[in-house]
Structure 1
Amino acid sequence: MIAETKDEMRDKILDAALKRFSNYTASKTTMNEIADDLHCSKASLYYYFSDKKSLHFAVLEKIGEHFISEQEMEAEKDLPAASILMNLLEIKRQFVLRYCRLEMFKILNDNSAETLRVMAIMKEREQKMMTRIMEKGVAAGDFKIRNISELASLYSQAIEGLRFSVLDCINPKFELEPDEIEKIIDKQRLLTEIFVKGIKQ
């Protein structure tokens, strides 16, 4: 049997942890359970991850990369800019519904240096993506925008802000219930409709 590389084993651990965290949440999952799922020792997990929090963060980083990449691919499609904005909300809806038990906000709100670094990278990629979408709308003659980058940033901030205004505050369990997710997305769709009408030629 061919020995697994470090990257392959690390990916297997992340996949096993994601499955556990998605079903039971990270707080209710132990490193022993993940090790049992993989038929390996707990020491093997600690070779790759210093503790459960670092494993949780790595899981979120992995799915976060997939999430932003999926959005970037959607942004490059040959579709009207307004349609792309709506499609991005559906991608977000499906993502959050799928991973609503991952306690994302528990890690994302810890304000550690590593969390802030990764979040800054994601925000920069999102800003570039939104700017490209607005540029596409202007080039097609659909949007009339003076400062594209500024408006792209304003739209992203408004969409993100709705998440907090609808919930009033982060759920103390660090979980979003499906009905809360649907409520947020509905508000974001309405805002997008109003936003697009305001910048149409």
Structure 2
Amino acid sequence: MLETDKKRELIIEGAIKRFIHFGIHKTTMNEIAEDLSVSKPSLYYYFPDKTSLILGVIEKIFDDYFSVLYRDQKLGTPIETTLLNIIEIKHKFFLRYYMLHLSYGNPDSSLSSVELKNYLETMMVKNLRFHETVFEAAVSRKEIAPQDDIPKIAELYLSCQSGLTSLCIMHGNKELFPGKKELKLMKEKQVSLSKIFIKGLKT
């Protein structure tokens, strides 16, 4: 069982490297098998098709992301510090995996599976719930004023942060990795937004 899991992880890591370098839609299962020096039957044993492999890659990225998020949280940490730490974590993951997003507008059917869409929606809900607990903790510590609708507050905050990320990408070349200037500006705006957002929620 452990050997099977290890082989599966190696395939996912190999897929991530090729996806980041060449893009998802330009990568074939055969190329991944060749990179890893594994037989095609062996590759297809773990991942029957490209769609299942992409889902495996996305699952690993989110597992790693939430693992870091939860590990980074410390009881009693001020909400502003917590949100800025989250921005830093997201920024590091963005830098590492941004190239995987280049294929979102591509007609590759592997990226439009129901399973993948459902999984991404589940992760969005998980991220929302995580931020809800952050705001709830701040209310309990009386860092911010009591709120009638914490889920709405968390959703608004995440929507604003997501909007800043999209603007950064649109400002640069859509087909290339955003430059250092755009990335620095994106992070600075996300930090500023967090500070303003929390200031507005304080008593």
Q: TM-score range by the shorter chain?
A: 0.7 to 0.9
Question: In 1, are the aligned partners of 2:172 and 2:179 still within 8 Å (CA)?
Answer: no
TM-score (norm 1): 0.82
Figure out how many residues of one structure are paired with residues of the other and give that number: 198
Q: How does 1:101-180 map to 2 (within 5 A)?
A: 101-103=99-101, 106=104, 110-147=111-148, 148-168=150-170, 172-173=174-175, 176-179=177-180, 180=182
When the two chains are superposed, the root-mean-square deviation of aligned CA atoms in Å is 2.9
Deviation at 1:155, TM superposition (A): 0.9
Range 177-186 or range 90-99, more displaced: 177-186
Deviation at 1:18, TM superposition (A): 1.7
Measured in 2, the distance between the counterparts of 1:6 and 1:120 equals 28
> Where does residue 95 of structure 2 map in the other structure?
97
SS of equivalent residue, structure 2 residue 38: coil
Q: How does 1:64-79 map to 2 (within 5 A)?
A: 64-79=62-77
**Cα gap change, 1:28/1:105 in structure 2, threshold over 3 Å: closer, same or farther?**
closer
Measured in 1, the distance between the counterparts of 2:190 and 2:124 equals 18
Measured in 1, the distance between the counterparts of 2:102 and 2:69 equals 19
Q: What do the CA deviations read for 1:128-157 (whole angstroms, capped 9, x no partner)?
A: 211111112112221113222221121112
Unpaired runs of 5+ residues, structure 1, are none
Deviation at 1:92, TM superposition (A): 0.5
Measured in 2, the distance between the counterparts of 1:145 and 1:48 equals 49
Range 179-188 or range 134-143, more displaced: 179-188
TM-score (norm 2): 0.82
Deviation at 1:166, TM superposition (A): 3.6
Identity of aligned residues (%): 33
Measured in 1, the distance between the counterparts of 2:173 and 2:52 equals 22
Measured in 1, the distance between the counterparts of 2:44 and 2:116 equals 20
Measured in 2, the distance between the counterparts of 1:13 and 1:129 equals 30
> Where does residue 191 of structure 1 map in the other structure?
193
SS of equivalent residue, structure 2 residue 65: helix
**Cα gap change, 1:104/1:77 in structure 2, threshold over 3 Å: closer, same or farther?**
farther
Measured in 1, the distance between the counterparts of 2:103 and 2:66 equals 17
**Cα gap change, 1:164/1:37 in structure 2, threshold over 3 Å: closer, same or farther?**
closer
Deviation at 1:77, TM superposition (A): 4.4
Question: In 1, are the aligned partners of 2:84 and 2:191 still within 8 Å (CA)?
Answer: yes
Question: In 1, are the aligned partners of 2:23 and 2:103 still within 8 Å (CA)?
Answer: no
Deviation at 1:95, TM superposition (A): 0.6
Deviation at 1:178, TM superposition (A): 4.5
One-letter amino acid matched to 1:143: I
Range 159-168 or range 58-67, more displaced: 159-168
Deviation at 1:185, TM superposition (A): 2.1
Measured in 1, the distance between the counterparts of 2:118 and 2:97 equals 22
Unpaired runs of 5+ residues, structure 2, are none
Range 104-113 or range 188-197, more displaced: 104-113
**Cα gap change, 1:144/1:104 in structure 2, threshold over 3 Å: closer, same or farther?**
farther
Question: In 1, are the aligned partners of 2:168 and 2:183 still within 8 Å (CA)?
Answer: no
One-letter amino acid matched to 1:92: K
